[in-house]
Amino acid sequence: MIPVLVTLATGLSLAYAVLAPSPVLEARASSSAITAAPQLSSAIATFEAEVATLAAAGLALEAILLDIVPPSASDSIPAAVSRAASAYSAHPTDFYQEIASLVFNGVVPGDIALIEAGFIVENSNTNILNPLPKSNIYPKSSTDAPYDVPELTLRAAMYIPPGFTYGAKQPVLLVPGTGGYAGEQFATNCGLLTFATYCRLTVFPVAKLFANSPNADPVFLNLPDNALDDIQVYAEYVAYGINYLNSITGKKVATYGWSQAAVTVRWATKYWPSTRSASSVSIQISPDYHGSIVELALCPVPGGSCAPSVLQQAYNATFIATLRNNGGDSPYIPLTSIYSAFDDVVQPQVSGPGASGFSNDGHGVGVTNVFLQDVCGFILPGGAPQNTHEGVLYNALALALANDTLTTGKNANLAHVNTASLCEKFAPDGLSLADVAVTISNIVISGINIADAPNKSSTEPPIKAYAMKDIPSGFSG
């Protein structure tokens, strides 16, 4: 049984739940306030036109979001997810217009910096006091790919919460998606949701719903530069993290991830074979095992420089082709993969093997591919348009299947859950409006960080020497 329990760290995270509204928010009714949809469209269009010349594109985008004064705030989960769906449907091909509309529609706050500041502890990747492994794992096996990142750096990227039991419970490595840290993506608090009717301490949906389980210990893997650089390097962190937690706990490790985490974990388990016997199961939400045909829409300048990890996740990227070749289209550990037709970042997401989220089971480890619309249809809340890239994170069916995977230690079984009841829910029982709103805010945070990525490039990072044998014909390394 491996359910996830994510406990918020004390200190700054708690403090941010009770801070007063920022002066910036209090002064938004200024001459620069954005109070109408045409104003917002114009501001984002100007940003997109000038972003190539901006020294700090992320800050420029944040400034626009701060100027937004929503006509009204969402007062219920159905209202919030409906407004989120409207932002997607209004701008299906313009990522930055969409995330700005999430703020304008009153779904998430515009003061994103304060939300991020609430995760100073959980976002840490300089945890140099983490204990040493009990045996040599750098590398663990002669068949593993070589590490380029120093061992201390790999180990320090893991934030181990104070209550970690070092083996009394099952370890779970939380791996982030593009544009953020595991802390803010998996241990969220409500920050300063000044647009809501209340603000209280809360946690990421999976953590909250599994909070009563006695059998899991989360560890947050915080990849450098918001996971926006070379995914091959980030796979070193995942490989080391799996073997490290296995070493210090004596237990097999579960991995739980969103978006980019899927290909990062797959690359790690493909090229560091020692991780396979150290792993139990993997759950991936909105994965992109075949990349995405709309991935490059995340780049602020179409056809220009972009974050390396974004380029690597394009549908025809060399990284993706290399990953999938010679067995990488199948997982090396039991997998539950959950995805939606309305994913605004990863496409195609369809029924059957044509979906980017779909995995074969060529290694016979056990795979459950769950296309939400196959189960819930396109009308019920569990399959409706609010199930976007981040929307699957709080989907009731997705979380029930995650729980089943972690409980059984095997890929999920739809027969173990009440699909009819779950498909009728906008979110699982026990989640509040604040829980849902903060989860949605992760896509806004990712957009800001992608715009401000430090190492933008016009080409993918070259394939590492150890993987060059897997580059398919017609692709260059």
Domains of the chain: 116-470 (3.40.50.1820)
- DSSP 3-state helix, strand, coil percentages of the chain (rounded to 5)? 40, 10, 50
DSSP 335-361: EEEEE-TT-SSS----SSTTSTT----
3-state SS string for 226-256: HHCCCHHHHHHHHHHHHHHHHHHHCCCEEEE
Q: What is the pLDDT of residue 183?
A: 78
- Other beta carbons less than 10 A from residue 36's beta carbon: 12
pTM passes above 0.85: yes
User: Over the chain (477 residues), what is each successive 10-residue block's mean pLDDT?
Assistant: 31 30 41 88 90 82 92 89 93 92 91 74 88 97 98 97 86 93 65 27 47 68 97 99 98 95 99 98 97 94 90 97 98 99 97 98 99 98 96 92 88 98 92 84 93 93 98 90
Which residues have a Cβ under 8 Å from the Cβ of 212 and sit 6 or more positions away?
none
- Other beta carbons less than 10 A from residue 377's beta carbon: 12
71 within 8 A of 106, measured Cβ to Cβ: yes
C-alpha R_g of the chain: 21
